[in-house]
A and B are shown apart, each in its own frame.
Chain A
């Protein structure tokens, strides 16, 4: 009988390093300075939620977009643990930036292709441009794609592609390899959809892969895409952690100050117990998210399990926190003016993104040898 791999030999590093704390402080300071909820709401409704100056400060100023890219290609030579910290902060502020899609998923995919003989110069050049934030690339797969799920290989039309409207390059899985396709090239059509989460635009893309340059052949092509998806799913857990943290902090602050029945509503046990439960979930989500980031960073063979575990847990926590945040705000939580809805919409979309919790539990059932009923 297969026994689940024991992790007792080299325990994961679940803490934040001093460097990671410094990085967080820089990102948070930038996002706090540029936080402008009314402006963000107007931008979101316009269909172009991105703030170009913010992206430039985050990418070129702080260097966040190059964290996963080696220094020789113009990146920071850091890794998934650091990128996870950036995503916590981006989740905390529901910022509309193509960070998860371009700086994590497309970048990881390209890193897996780097070194292939014919196109390595092109891949290296693209990685450098992504690291500097000059260009944006996204995987042409539905946002719902799980790391071990079906891929749209050879599809002419792919729907639900996140941040495609912001992308300069699409990474397209064709029948005979992975292609880098310029969105500006003829034969590529990017049609904007109306997303539940206005801060992460979705589009249907119509692609002719032959318009692009082949950067990987089978079977590397699929493996590279799956590596990008695994990194994306693992680090999405940190974004979900950040969302949940904001929602709890906001709910606590609001219920401390809001008075009904001549007392702060946060003094009622019926409410404070709900917030204590959320705190407990967030503490747990942090351990799960750090574990996934560390497993990706160390290239651990346990990474698929760590990622599936984090995704099976953290997505639900973010949704629960966002739903509680709305409820604990009462009427104001239902308004367009209050930002709680942006977090709810992001949390609910993130729950579905890169494999739902239920999808990841099925993955765990196989990895942990807990097979289902055959009846």
Chain B
């Protein structure tokens, strides 16, 4: 039997034994995990069957057709996209068995404690300290510091955390990776209000937070390497799905343009056409990238897509506010809220204009991404650096 046929048979068996209509959502998801149909490329016993990742679609389609509940992946994106692959790669067997099932089912939401007020683009300069207490081999870690830009922190049960365990070493070498219990009394979460008026993110203050050594992920001092797995998966998840023409932000402004001839000016027309061309070419570039991935020949083009979309979202939404004229002077609502889900193209033009300013900052600033393209794709030399071989404690902060 082919892999696909086997997966299809197992999916039907799951549906027969746990009919979605008569099964509680969480119970169904747990049964799906235990049947190895959660993420089929994961190992058996951890929600998978060691099957090719490309076959997940076979399972998902069959379950969707049967009306089975899903695990609401948008709500638990950090757990699925970042924590899980890192735990899978670096975790102990106990850690994998303890954390992956409730993570995938959605019983335990995860957040990411990486960025700090003093460590943004230069993440490896982070200053949150983890100091061992008691036994030098098995003692707990006591963590103090401040993290920022943490989405879902107020909902999260667990966090992936990187902290400095040895300030005497150069910055990349003295970092260790932990799994942090967000219910620890030393964890304080405060909403971080943004220019849109709402708070998608939080500041997280860590004061004498106690982390048992069993919740360390990877070796002491290897945290930077472990974090690369997390960050690599973040970039992979920013691939997106296939868009129809005018499927992105350009569609909103094009609709307004067609419906409102009274708003048109010659200058706006020229700029709209230029952006329409660039948005359509960017869409085709994304399509080409997907075709390359499907053909098993991934190119470096992916690193450029985020740059293109950040700039286009900003320019298109800026044009839209201007096009709307008097209506562009208004804003829907400044009430402070904590949205569970974020939709870049949602709400009104003013919101889109303001929110898209973050597109060139979050997940790697455009300036850092340009360096990555220049150095890793084009092979240009890096700027001379004075921070690589200096003990972290001696760096200017």
Contact = CB atoms under 8 A, between A and B. Distances in A.
A374 interface: yes
B375 interface: yes
B188 to A, nearest CB: 38
Interface in A282-337: 283-288, 290-291, 309, 312-313
Contacts of B374: 272-273, 275-276, 279
Contacts of B301: 283
B94 interface: no
A120 B261 CA distance: 50
B258 A272 contact: no
Contact of B370 (A7, A276, A283): A276
Interface in A70-122: none
A12 B284 CA distance: 9
Interface residues of A, number: 50
B381 A267 contact: yes
B20 interface: no
Interface residues of B, number: 49
Contacts of A1: 258
Interface stretch (B170-178, B194-202, B264-272): B264-272
B288 A279 contact: no
Given A15-B292, A361-B274, A276 B258 contact: no
A290 B265 contact: no
Interface string B212-248: 0000000000000000000000000000001011100
A15 B288 contact: yes
A7 B245 contact: yes
A134 interface: no
Contacts, number: 142
A370 B272 contact: yes
A268 B383 contact: yes
Contacts of B292: 15
A276 B261 contact: no
A161 B64 CA distance: 60
A373 interface: yes
Contact of B269 (A252, A287, A365): A365
A4 B254 CA distance: 10
A300 to B, nearest CB: 13
Contacts of A373: 264-266, 268-269
Contacts of A4: 245-246
B207 interface: no
Q: Which 8 A-B pairs have the closest CB atoms?
A: A272-B374, A14-B288, A276-B373, A373-B264, A267-B381, A287-B284, A287-B285, A276-B370
10 contacts: A7-B244, A267-B383, A272-B378, A276-B371, A279-B377, A284-B281, A286-B285, A312-B273, A313-B281, A364-B273
Interface of B: 242, 244-246, 254, 257-258, 261, 264-266, 268-270, 272-274, 276-278, 280-282, 284-285, 287-288, 291-292, 295, 297, 301, 304, 307-308, 367, 370-371, 373-375, 377-384
Given A6-B244, A273-B367, A276-B374, 18 more contacts: A7-B245, A14-B291, A15-B292, A263-B384, A269-B371, A273-B374, A275-B380, A283-B304, A284-B281, A284-B308, A286-B288, A287-B281, A361-B273, A368-B254, A370-B258, A370-B273, A370-B276, A375-B264
